[in-house]
Amino acid sequence: MRAVAVYPGKRLVKLIERPEPYITAPSQVKVRMLEVGVCGTDKELCAFVFGTPPPGSDHFILGHESLGEVREVGAGVQDLLPGDLVVGTVRLPCSDTACDACRTDHQDFCATGQYPEHGIRNLDGFMAEYVVEEREYLHVVPASLRQVGVLVEPLTIAEKAWQEAVRIQDRLPWKPSGRKALVLGAGAVGLLGAMKLVAEGLETFVYSQMPAPNPSSAIVESIGATYLSSQEVPVSEMARLVGRIDLVYEALGAAQLAFDVMKRLAPNGLFVFTGVPRAESLEAFDTYKVVENLVLKNQAIVGVVNSGRQSFADAIRDLGIFHQRWTGVVERIITGRFPMEEFMGPVMGRVDGIKNVIRIGEGK
Ligand SMILES: [Zn+2]
Ligand SMILES: [Zn+2]
């Protein structure tokens, strides 16, 4: 079978031939990959910023945002049938018996840092024609979501952020009303976050660099949120327009703007970071103002990383809700589909678009 592989030692990314994997345990499932989404993480892996092959190998298969179709199930798998659509978990538990998070099925909160991740660290990814995986790490997607199911994994980021936001805002001894949310960034993670926030009833603004109109701003307007360009509207003006920034969902990975916005967070507000900044992106950090606000305004700042079981369940449910509520809009997040031979353009960041997807198979 064909697969896209990264060789960190040789600084090489290429299409390779691999023997097709087969089921070796009754709890396993063989999946025909249909589509794999490409994101900033893949671009960094292909620039060799990070990424670790499985032990004993000099390469790893790329890809973590998957959609596949079940081909074959092990004798012990009772609840999946060939033809079912599935999305794979990216981060798996570490093996440390003392890691409470991993031992209770919450590897997204792993405390040892020794977790493996498909297509990123110590495990092959999903950009291959076939994958064999344990049943417990696969999530069933309804057939009606065939065209957008590859967005489940990026949506788990918004789901995790929302779960955390609800828990953290529960600390307030009353139920806040009329809350407003600000999304930083209008890539796939930002847009899916905006959909989640609108669906949860928050008045939502999306603040991103590019002036409107553009494909992202059109999606933002279609879901009833407001798009503001940081090139046209400075942070102070944006804060005035929004009025009260109760919740910030950061999906930029560029810390400077995030810290400028943080100073405008409303009293009792929550700032959620989801993007990993580049080391060089932070120029100035107003420690005094940020800490003063945290104390005098009871604010909270939290970082989230995705891939918990509940986040996948919520993402699959909500993708169905978004798909019904905004017919034809969710599809527009996927701006390009490329055959496997043309993987280089998307993974090297040579093609534009919101979410580019590698098309691996058609399914039955
Ligand atoms: Zn990703
Ligand atoms: Zn762990």
276 Cα to the center of ligand 1, angstroms: 12
Ligand of minimum distance to the alpha carbon of 98:
2
Ligand of minimum distance to the alpha carbon of 44:
1
Residue 359 has a CB neighbour count (10 Å cut-off) of 17
Residue 330 contacts residue 148 (beta carbons within 8 Å) = yes
**Which residue, 272, 307, 293, 273, is CA-closest to 168?**
272
175 Cα to the center of ligand 1, angstroms: 34
Q: Which two tokens stand for residue 109?
A: 């909160």
H helices of the chain, in order, are 40-46, 100-103, 152-169, 188-199, 215-222, 235-242, 255-262, 287-296, 309-325, 344-347
Q: pTM (2 decimals)?
A: 0.96
Sheet holding 2-7, edge to edge: 12-17, 2-7, 60-61
Instruction: Give me the tens of pLDDT residue by residue for the chain, a chain 364 residues long.
Output: 999 999 999 999 999 999 999 999 999 999 999 999 999 999 999 999 999 999 999 999 999 999 999 999 999 999 999 999 999 999 999 999 999 999 999 999 999 999 999 999 999 999 999 999 999 999 999 999 999 999 999 999 999 999 999 999 999 999 989 999 999 999 999 999 999 999 999 999 999 999 999 999 999 999 999 999 999 999 999 999 999 999 999 998 777 889 899 999 999 999 999 988 776 667 777 888 889 999 999 999 999 998 789 999 999 999 999 999 999 999 999 999 999 999 999 999 899 999 999 999 987 6
From the centroid of its chain, how far is CA 280? Answer: 23
**Which residue, 85, 79, 74, 73, is CA-closest to 33?**
85
Q: What is the mean pLDDT of the chain?
A: 95
Task: Give CA–CA dist 294/297, Å, rounded.
Answer: 6
63 Cα to the center of ligand 2, angstroms: 22
**Which residue, 119, 189, 31, 67, is CA-closest to 347?**
119
Ligand of minimum distance to the alpha carbon of 102:
2
Residue 62 contacts residue 125 (beta carbons within 8 Å) = yes
Ligand of minimum distance to the alpha carbon of 41:
1
Q: Enumerate residues 6+ apart whose C-beta is below 8 A from 287.
A: none
2 Cα to the center of ligand 1, angstroms: 21
Ligand of minimum distance to the alpha carbon of 251:
1
Helix (H) or strand (E) holding 335: strand 334-339
DSSP-derived secondary structure letter, 360: -
What pLDDT shows up at residue 280?
67
